[in-house]
């Protein structure tokens, strides 16, 4: 059994690469590159193109789309000052063309690449569940331009709704070593893991309780309170 996998799905002008550096690490790298005017391809090793790291949970979200059990998945990666939106979803209801977007890079996949990517991610997922969720391992040195694999991170899933019988899933991955900001808001609704708050500007959104680092009164609804929260959640909502 191989320890790593690299597969590039080439197109005329745009390509998508799936890279698993080891079956013993709980993530893969997903990269989009463009063909330059001189005919050569952007080099990921030189920091060109766009590369993101995907967790096991995010791999599962993409597989669900590939097998047409979900309509699309959108992820937001926030590391320090780097913010990247990732989108994997069907171009239309025929679900024959998959659209993959990483930042400003977009790549479309059709048969048989769709099937190849589904089988590859399924295989990688099974490997990682077996080898990356137990024991110890040494991380390898990453190539220049790839995401810092040593950084700790968290994952927050939200906005799971239904459309045409299929789910739409959004997740946010954020740096564990993150800064905080102070906001003033009212608590509208409380769930076991999150708060629905309203800012003085009238903007309303959910924040996970794990991102709040100050005391607050749940029973004091419709009362303006001070919150110390992780900066990424504010950036996530573009406030």
Average pLDDT over residues 161-170: 53
- The CATH class of 5-175 is mainly beta
Average of per-residue pLDDT across 205-234: 84
pLDDT digits (tens, 9 = 90+) for 86-123: 999 999 889 999 999 999 999 999 999 999 999 999 99
In tens, the pLDDT along 136-165 reads 444 444 444 444 444 444 555 544 444 455
pLDDT digit string, tens, across residues 21-76: 999 989 999 999 999 999 999 999 888 999 998 989 899 989 999 999 888 888 88
DSSP codes, the chain:
--S-EEEEE--SSEEEEEEES-TTSSEEEEEEEEB-TTSPBP-GGGT-SEEEEEEHHHHHHHHHHHTTSEEEEEEEEEETTEEEEEEEEESSTT--SEEEEETTEEEEE-TTHHHHHHHHHHHHHHHHHHHSSSS---PPPPPTTS--TTS-EEEEEEEEEEETTEEEEEEEEEESS--EEEEEEEEEEE-SSEEEEEETTS-EEEEEGGGB-S---TT-TTS-EEEEEEHHHHHHTT-
Q: What is the CATH number of domain 180-236?
A: 2.40.50
Q: What backbone torsions phi and psi does residue 220 show, to the nearest 5 degrees? A: -90, 65
Question: Boundaries of CATH 2.30.31.10 in the chain?
Answer: 5-175
Find the range with the poorest average confidence among 77-81, 144-148, 181-185.
144-148
Distance CA 16, CA 100 (A): 9
pLDDT value of residue 233: 76
* CA distance to 5, 8, 78, 204, 226, per residue, from 199 (Å): 46, 45, 22, 6, 10
Start-end of CATH 2.40.50 domains in the chain: 180-236
- Per-residue confidence (pLDDT) for residue 110, from 0 to 100: 96
The residue that leads in pLDDT, 84 or 36, is: 36
């Amino acid at each position: 059994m191989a320890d790593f996998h690299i597969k590039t799905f080439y197109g005329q002008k745009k390509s998508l690469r799936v890279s698993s550096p080891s079956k013993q690490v709980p993530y893969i790298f997903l990269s989009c590159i463009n063909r330059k005017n001189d005919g050569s391809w952007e080099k990921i090793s030189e920091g060109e193109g766009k590369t993101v790291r995907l967790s096991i949970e995010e791999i599962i979200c993409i597989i669900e789309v590939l097998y047409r059990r979900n309509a699309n998945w959108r992820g937001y990666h926030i590391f320090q000052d780097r913010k990247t939106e990732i989108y994997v979803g069907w171009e239309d209801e025929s679900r024959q063309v998959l659209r993959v977007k990483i930042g400003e890079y977009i790549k479309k996949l059709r048969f048989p690449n769709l099937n190849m990517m589904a089988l590859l991610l399924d295989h990688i997922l099974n490997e990682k569940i077996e080898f990356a969720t137990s024991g110890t391992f040494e991380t390898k040195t990453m190539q220049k331009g790839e995401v810092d694999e040593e950084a700790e991170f968290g994952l927050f899933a939200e906005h799971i709704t239904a459309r045409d019988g299929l789910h739409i899933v959004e997740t946010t991955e954020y740096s564990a070593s993150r800064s905080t900001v102070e906001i003033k808001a009212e608590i509208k609704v409380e769930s076991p893991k999150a708060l629905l708050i309203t800012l003085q500007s009238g903007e309303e959104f959910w924040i996970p309780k794990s991102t709040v680092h100050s005391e607050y009164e749940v029973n004091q609804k419709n009362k303006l309170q001070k919150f110390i929260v992780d900066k990424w959640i504010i950036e996530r909502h573009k406030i």
